[in-house]
Chain A
Amino acid sequence: EADIYQTPRYLVIGTGKKITLECSQTMGHDKMYWYQQDPGMELHLIHYSYGVNSTEKGDLSSESTVSRIRTEHFPLTLESARPSHTSQYLCASRGRPYNEQFFGPGTRLTVL
């Protein structure tokens, strides 16, 4: 059973607002990931981290930023939300020894 949490589950905000999507895991995993997924579409990697103070951009360009100050916490921030940011954001961490990824329940973001 994976222990990875995301808040909020749903968020509706206006254009121009700054938001932070929270992700935390209690499994002590070093590697964590953020994916973006539109309804009925594939997962796209937007950020990842191999440990504290490590962050990298993923395959899909994103205007969001991430930080990794603590192993268990990997928040994603949008400085100025736009309607084009409307999507589902999924956080994951990578387990051992088989490197499988465990996902949180996701945050469904709607920017009006």
Chain B
Amino acid sequence: TQLLEQSPQFLSIQEGENLTVYCNSSSVFSSLQWYRQEPGEGPVLLVTVVTGGEVKKLKRLTFQFGDARKDSSLHITAAQPGDTGLYLCAGHDNYGQNFVFGPGTRLSVLP
């Protein structure tokens, strides 16, 4: 069974600050996804990273996939209250059979 770990578990910052959250595993993933979930809603897919070393940008969000495809990071520049939510990483193993979720990082951006 492959596990995804996320850190930090909770993060509370002021509007305008930068932050990075991490997703780590001891196993190789064929792809990793990042989701944001707001209370009472389903997770919304933000990005999929596939290639080791890949960097993708989505406005103020920058996603990176580790060279060995075992870890990923999400960096938010100049955080805004609208970024508040639960950030989940998830991915499939190399065989494409098991899809696993990390426990999430709960981000709160205060105005």
Contact = CB atoms under 8 A, between A and B. Distances in A.
A90 B42 contact: yes
Interface stretch (B15-23, B43-51, B76-84): B43-51
B30 A99 contact: yes
Interface string B74-111: 00000000000000101010001001010110100000
Given A42-B101, A42-B104, A43-B101, A98 B42 contact: no
Contact of B45 (A2, A104, A106): A2
Interface in A77-112: 88, 90, 92, 94, 98-106, 108
For the residues of B in contact with A, the DSSP-based class is strand
Contacts of B96: 99
B45 to A, nearest CB: 6
A108 B40 contact: yes
Interface residues of A, number: 20
Contact of A100 (B40, B48, B101, B106): B48
A43 B104 CA distance: 10
Residues of A contacting B: mostly: loop
B42 A105 contact: yes
A102 B45 contact: yes
Contact of B99 (A2, A42, A99): A99
Given A99-B96, A103-B44, A39 B31 contact: no
Contacts of A103: 35, 42-45
Contacts of A90: 42-43
Interface in B13-65: 30-31, 33, 35, 39-45, 48, 50
Contacts of B35: 103
7 contacts: A43-B101, A88-B40, A98-B33, A100-B48, A101-B45, A101-B99, A102-B45
Interface of B: 30-31, 33, 35, 39-45, 48, 50, 88, 90, 92, 96, 99, 101, 103-104, 106
The list of the 9 closest CB pairs from A to B, nearest first, reads: A103-B42, A98-B31, A99-B92, A106-B42, A98-B48, A100-B33, A103-B43, A100-B48, A90-B42
